[in-house]
Amino acid sequence: MNLYCIPYAGCSARVYDSWQQHLPDHVTVVPLELPGRGSRCVEEPIDELPALLEDLYRQLDTGTSYALFGHSYGALIAFELARLVHSEGARRPSALLVSASRAPRLPAADADSHRLSDAELVERLAALGGTPKELLENEELMEIYLPVIRADYRILGAYGTGTPGTVDCPITAFYGDADDEADLPSVEAWADYTNGPFRVERIPGDHFFLHSAERELVAAVEAACTQGALS
């Protein structure tokens, strides 16, 4: 099974580089890099959802078993990518794995962040805690980084609430037990977005348990992938 992984807003898919060492050989981690970061840093970031989804869809191999994973902003992108797969008549994912994300009908905590000034946006990122302090304090790097994070936040801001539609695959939703951004009730609401089985998994940590509880999260992801493949 290919495990396609989408990062959180402003982040490179290299955040998943260490996952493979924690997974068995039959699960292959395939990080989906978004334009403007990582190996695609020379490309312009995309700030419109349809164009971003088309870009990511071209990176999928739907001819074999696969699952989609996304953290925070990446979870909404993974959900919309699964919907695009369905509309294209391609093979559906065995599982959709959404992490640290409020359900689509609920307003995103960062929905208006693209309207902030540079100074306000830096302050917001510092408060969230997912951006290294060394990056936030480096003016030259921030000139490169801010357009990337703004592009992601523009997509969040335009996403809106009450997005219709469901997916025809199981959804497993992971939440951090100390996450103020996506608490348990907001994560449980993902149940309305699948026609298949739905499960919620608790992971210790705050909104960025992707980093602090990597082993626990990857183990839970492996279990969800296995269950999805058998369903």
Catalytic annotation, residues: 72
- Going 60 to 65 to 68 to 69, the CA torsion angle's sign is negative
Distances (CA, A) of 206 to 87, 173, 212, 213: 35, 15, 8, 10
Structure tokens, 144: 């490169």
Provide the residue type at 90 as one letter: A
d(CA 97, CA 67): 8
d(CA 229, CA 61): 16
